[in-house]
């Protein structure tokens, strides 16, 4: 296996219908088309690259009115392509006890490996104790949790996405693996400080071509945080092909390439 892409979104017809407005905004921002393909085609894309994809579910139904991407469908794709997909359940924290039960079902019954949260879209603070039963459950299940951090657009409140709230969570749940997605702009240094002070935190590099990743992220990836940085493309916003090609020229030391592309994600996901 060449690499693990820890940040991949399904792009099938269900997603196209649900997020048509977001697609138009994303295409303007990333200056390229948002590819739509079924999960069979996505599996073939990642097979051709010899990359394992972490498929991220999405459930922000309470705040957006958009139905969740079914965790059962995500799990079915992972069972069909176990050599190409690992799945993270989409969990809506505002669903309370139903969210806790869905997380338990996703991990224990469906075979998904972790959970995905988007504090901006879901309009919640990760350190709000009202949601701590979710993270207690994730820790007990040894299920990593991934959070969007930094800008998100479309009128979302930025403050929800600050890395400092994950610092509270990492301190309160030291056995919970936390993945802070994207370089956390405009709180880039805050994200780095979070990982430096909390060994249970990983930073994914998704949402940016590597040539645009903030220089301090590359500095820390080459030195103090080389064991806590992980590759993520944010496909379909950035293709894994583009990300991997740009990575070679972005200033990451050859000595850390395998860690960032593969080894660190294996540890974060609990893969042998």
For position 12, what pLDDT does the model report? 78
Q: CA-to-CA distance for 233 and 241, rounded, in angstroms?
A: 9
Q: CA-to-CA distance for 179 and 42, rounded, in angstroms?
A: 23
56 bridge partner residues: 88
Residue 151: pLDDT band with limits 50, 70, 90: confident
What order of strands is seen across the sheet that includes strand 114-117? 3-8, 51-56, 85-90, 114-117, 145-148, 178-181, 201-204, 229-230
Give the three-class secondary structure for 90: strand
Residue 17: pLDDT band with limits 50, 70, 90: low
Provide the CA 60 distance to its chain's centre, in angstroms. 15
In total, how many domains does the chain have? 1
User: Which is it for strands 145-148 and 114-117: parallel, antiparallel or unpaired?
Assistant: parallel
54 bridge partner residues: 86
Q: What is the mean pLDDT of residues 167-187?
A: 97
**The pair of three-digit structure tokens given for residue 189, joined into one six-digit string:** 């240094």
Indicate which CATH number applies to the domain containing 71: 3.20.20.140
Quick: pLDDT tens for 205-228.
Answer: 999 999 999 999 999 999 999 999
Is pLDDT of 35 > 80?
no
By residue range, what is the domain housing residue 13?
3-269
Identify each DSSP E strand in 183-268 by its residue range. 201-204, 229-230
The answer to which of 97-101, 124-128, 154-158, 179-183 has the lowest mean pLDDT is 154-158
Residue 156: pLDDT band with limits 50, 70, 90: confident
Q: What are the phi and psi torsion angles at 210 (to 5°)?
A: -55, -30
Q: CA-to-CA distance for 215 and 105, rounded, in angstroms?
A: 41
User: What is the residue whose two structure tokens read 């969210």?
Assistant: 99
For position 41, what pLDDT does the model report? 96
In sequence order, the 6+-apart residues with CB closer than 8 A to the CB of 64 are 121
Torsion of CA 103, 104, 106, 108, to 10 degrees: 160
**The pair of three-digit structure tokens given for residue 24, joined into one six-digit string:** 């138009």
Q: What is the mean pLDDT of residues 177-195?
A: 97
**The pair of three-digit structure tokens given for residue 199, joined into one six-digit string:** 């060994």
Q: CA-to-CA distance for 225 and 152, rounded, in angstroms?
A: 25
Is pLDDT of 13 > 70?
no
């Amino acid at each position: 296996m060449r690499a693990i892409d820890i940040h991949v979104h399904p792009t099938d017809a269900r997603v196209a219908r649900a997020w048509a407005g977001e697609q138009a905004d994303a295409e303007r921002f990333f200056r390229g088309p948002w590819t739509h393909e079924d999960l069979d085609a996505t599996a073939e894309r990642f097979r051709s690259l010899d990359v394992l994809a972490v498929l991220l579910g999405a459930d922000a139904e309470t705040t957006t009115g958009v139905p969740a991407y079914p965790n059962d469908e995500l799990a079915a794709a992972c069972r069909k392509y176990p050599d190409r997909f690992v799945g993270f359940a989409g969990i809506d924290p505002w669903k309370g006890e139903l969210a806790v039960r869905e997380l338990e079902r996703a991990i224990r019954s469906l075979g998904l490996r972790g959970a995905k949260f988007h504090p901006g879209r879901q309009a919640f603070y990760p350190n709000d104790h009202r949601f701590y039963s979710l993270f207690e459950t994730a820790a007990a299940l040894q299920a990593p949790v991934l959070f969007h951090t930094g800008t998100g657009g479309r009128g979302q409140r930025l403050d929800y996405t600050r890395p400092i709230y994950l610092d509270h969570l990492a301190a309160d749940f030291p056995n919970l693996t936390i993945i802070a997605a994207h370089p956390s702009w405009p709180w880039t240094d805050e994200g780095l400080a979070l990982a430096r002070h909390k060994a249970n935190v990983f930073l994914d590099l998704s949402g940016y071509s590597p040539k645009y990743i903030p220089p301090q992220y590359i500095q820390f990836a080459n030195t103090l945080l080389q064991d806590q940085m992980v590759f993520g493309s944010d496909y379909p916003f950035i293709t894994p092909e583009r990300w991997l090609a740009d990575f070679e020229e972005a200033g990451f030391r050859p000595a850390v390439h395998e860690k960032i592309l593969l080894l660190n994600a294996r540890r974060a996901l609990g893969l042998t």
